[in-house]
Chain A
Amino acid sequence: MVRRKVFRRRIRRGNRSAAGNVCIFIFLFLLGAFMLLPLVYSCLNAFKPLEEVYIYPPRFFVRNPTLENFSVFFKLASGLHVPFIRYLFNSLFVTILTTVVHIVLSSMAAYPLAKYRLRLSGLFSLVVVSMLFTSAVLWLPNYILMAKMHFLNTYLPYIVPNLAAPIGLFLMKQFMEQIPFALVESATIDGAGHWTIFWRIVMPQVKPAWMTLAVFSFLSVWNQASSGFVYDERLKLLGDLIANINAGGFSRLNISMAGTLFMIVPPILLFLFTQNRVLETMAYAGIKE
């Protein structure tokens, strides 16, 4: 019911000219290269020995790939007064906790908005507008607020604001809207309360939506840095560590790239496995007037 099967038939359609197709192919190829080359360059650098980083003229490809950078990275990272594993733990802990709680809270809020007409339904359009204001824009008032609540220098600044990310509620509500109300109604007649309906009937139906929320939440939390909210080195995240190593300058390009691979592999894997579900959810991500 949630996953609608669309049978694709061959249909007669107006077409593009051959010249148009060639232009489009070239355009996509160039754009794809622009998107991929910096990433490929980063990955290749992670395998370059030091003398190839210093070589003149600089080379894009790697001649003698080596894994040494990774061991140097670990040596460097464990030699810091806070061990590498602590950064990794912080990042994983914060990301997983935030993602799980974010999904639960936003689906709990999305269900009444999607399926009932409440006096406070107007809150939803407020949430839509506030997708405009990213954490970078709200940074200063959030800083003052968290200072007042004594949140600074704990894990809380990483977690709490992200729990209420507007995009989560938005996507969840849009996706829930297509669950037929009859389903909710019949369960009510059978004597089920709102909680039971929510957990037993609605939540299993919106699996694609929670996977999507998981991806977006993971992305935004995993890629964040302490940005002034946290100054205790033991509470900082992987992103801060990489930024610190980068600040070491050009000579360590290969080593910081080795570290960066740890940052970029988890989100890419997560998206590869969930991309079908994500696209299914995004089909409902429109704002109707």
Chain B
Amino acid sequence: MNRMAVISENFRIKRAMREENRKNRLTWKQDFKKHGPLYLMMAPYFFLYMLFFIVPILLAVWLSLTDYNIFQSPGFVGLKNYIAILAEDDIFYIALKNTLVFAVITGPVSYLLCFFVAWLINEMGNKLRVFLTCVFYAPTLASSVFFVWQFIFSGDSYGLINSFLMKLGLLEEPIQWLADVRFSLMVLIIAQIWTSLGTSFLAFIAGFKSVDPALYEAADIDGVRNRYQELIYITLPIMKPQLFFSAIMQIAASFSVSTISQTLLGFPSVKYAGHTLVLHIQDYGMIKFEMGYACGVAVILFVIMYVAKKLVDKLVGLLASD
């Protein structure tokens, strides 16, 4: 069957259904009259949601066009902040590079880890599965203890890694893991991956658990030979919704690194090796009080994250197509 024909047929059916829906839909007035109490139930949540999730984004966009400094009322300056950020701010580019390197490594690595560990765990017996779930989720539960990495990677010979490597004779001198530009970003990535088997990991475990076993049997009859084929042809397409959900969670986590860097590498870190966009925003907002400028950086970050989400959605859609 011609694939294109099927797609365009599906598209036509969907559009017809949408038009049908539109015709049967209530007008705004009828809707409010009929569902008034329901809207009342939604009101408190959505009031707070708008106030703390939508208003901040709009506020950032508006303030990024001004010279706001918290003491004086904002004056409109057009795109001046953006021009300053993009044309003159070298540290912005360091932060941008770090953020992207960080996201491009930790995002996919932790996403794949979540998926594969969940897949492997799913095959185990019930008790073992619960135990392993807790083991891998424990760092997220105890995320406030991440500062222990500071002691593990401590730069003197008291540091656990240094002393271990020196005992093995691999090192003569202790390495300044947290202050040496060659290593500090790597340490940060390790610490971040450590806490990254979070919500999406749980979503994957639950997703694998709820796949109907009869499908595997059917696949076996259809000639699926091993577990890996099973994963690609059966499980991935079924898990598509979980894949989308986890993508959002991982993008959110890998772009918003700040506290970990601040604690492990200090603020500002040596040669800005651990400087991320969130830290750049904090730097300009809290220390220099150039709120307009900082909001400009924030808006750039929002856009990057949104674009990343769109790209990843495309990718996941392609990977998990049936």
Q: Could you list which residues of chain A lie within 8 angstroms of chain B, going by C-beta atoms?
A: 6, 8-9, 11-17, 24, 27-28, 31-32, 34-36, 38-39, 41-42, 45, 56-58, 60, 105-106, 108-109, 111-113, 116, 118-120, 123, 126-134, 136-145, 147, 160-161, 163-164, 166-167, 169, 193-195, 198, 216, 219, 223, 225, 228, 239, 242-243, 246, 250, 253, 257, 260, 263-264, 267-268, 271-272, 275, 278-283, 285-289
Contact = CB atoms under 8 A, between A and B. Distances in A.
Contacts of B228: 16
26 contacts: A11-B213, A14-B226, A28-B120, A38-B149, A39-B138, A57-B166, A111-B38, A118-B39, A131-B252, A133-B57, A137-B278, A138-B52, A138-B56, A140-B281, A141-B295, A144-B70, A161-B48, A164-B53, A169-B45, A219-B141, A219-B143, A250-B154, A285-B203, A285-B245, A286-B241, A287-B248
B241 A287 contact: yes
Contacts of A160: 48, 52
Interface string B31-46: 1000101110110111
B285 A131 contact: no
Contact of A32 (B31, B132, B144): B132
Contact of B49 (A164, A216, A267): A164
B104 interface: no
Contacts of B141: 219, 264, 267-268, 271
Contacts of A139: 278, 281-282, 285
A207 B306 CA distance: 33
A127 B257 CA distance: 22
Interface in B120-154: 120, 130, 132-145, 147-149, 151-152, 154
A147 B70 contact: yes
B217 interface: yes
Q: Which 4 A-B pairs have the closest CB atoms?
A: A286-B241, A141-B56, A109-B45, A282-B206
A105 B245 contact: no
Given A141-B57, A239-B144, A286-B244, A116 B38 contact: yes
B59 A145 contact: yes
B264 to A, nearest CB: 11
B136 A264 contact: no
Nearest to A194: B37
Interface string B226-268: 1111100000000111101100110111011111000100000
A136 B277 CA distance: 11
B194 A141 contact: no
Contacts of B240: 286, 289
Nearest to A130: B53
Contact of A38 (B49, B152, B206, B242): B152
Contacts of B273: none
A285 B118 CA distance: 15
Given A28-B132, A141-B56, A56 B245 contact: no
Q: Main SS of the interface on chain A? A: helix
B160 A109 contact: no
B46 to A, nearest CB: 6
A8 B245 CA distance: 27
A245 to B, nearest CB: 11
Contacts of A246: 147
Contact of A132 (B142, B244, B248): B248
A39 B145 contact: yes
Contact of A138 (B53, B137, B151, B294): B53
Contacts of B45: 105-106, 108-109, 163-164, 169
A130 to B, nearest CB: 5
A247 B314 CA distance: 44
A36 B133 contact: no
B234 to A, nearest CB: 10
B138 A141 contact: no
Given A145-B56, A267-B141, A275 B133 contact: yes
A145 B291 CA distance: 12
Given A242-B144, A282-B203, A112 B39 contact: yes
B295 A223 contact: no
A260 B145 contact: yes
A107 B176 CA distance: 50
Contacts of A6: 210, 213
A280 B206 contact: yes
Contacts of A267: 141-142
Contacts of A118: 31, 35, 38-39
